[in-house]
Amino acid sequence: MTMIIYHLCLVILSLATFNYGGIALGYDLIGMIHLKLNELLKLETYTDKIIYTIIILAGIKIFIKKTLWLPLLNETVFPSLAFVQTVTKKSGDVSVPIKVTPNARVAYWASSPQKSDNIPDVITAYGDYSNSGIAISDKNGDANLLIDSGSSYSVPSGRVISKHIHYRELDLDYGMLGPVKTVSY
- Name the domain boundary from 46, 64, 82: 64
Q: Cα separation of 76 and 114, whole Å?
A: 32
Domain boundary among 29, 45, 64: 64
Q: In this predicted model, what pLDDT tens digit does every residue of 146-178 receive, in sequence order?
A: 999 999 999 989 999 999 999 999 888 877 888
- 37-54: average pLDDT: 92
Separation between Cα atoms, residue 74 and residue 61, nearest integer Å: 16
Identify which of 128, 119, 185, 127 has the alpha carbon closest to the alpha carbon of residue 154. 119
Angle of CA points 174, 3, 34, to nearest 5° = 140
| Tens of pLDDT, residues 64-104 | 887 777 776 676 766 555 556 666 667 789 999 999 999 99
Number of domains in the chain: 2
- Domain of 80, in residue numbers: 73-184
Identify the pLDDT of residue 108.
94
The confidence score (pLDDT) of residue 183 equals 96
Whether residue 133 is found in the same domain as residue 56: no
Among 64, 96, 113, the domain boundary falls at 64
Q: How far apart are CA 160 and CA 147, in angstroms?
A: 20
pLDDT in tens, 4-36: 898 999 999 999 999 999 999 999 999 999 999
Looking at the structure, tell me whether residues 174 and 137 fall in a common domain.
yes
106/45 same-domain check: no
Give the per-residue pLDDT at 85: 64
Residues 59 and 77 in one domain: no
Give whole-number Cα distances, 116 to 24, 112, 113, 152, 153, in Å.
Answer: 60, 12, 9, 12, 12
Same domain for 133 and 156? yes
Distance CA 15, CA 11 (A): 6
Q: Are 149 and 162 in contact (CB under 8 A)?
A: no
The pLDDT assigned to 17 comes to: 94
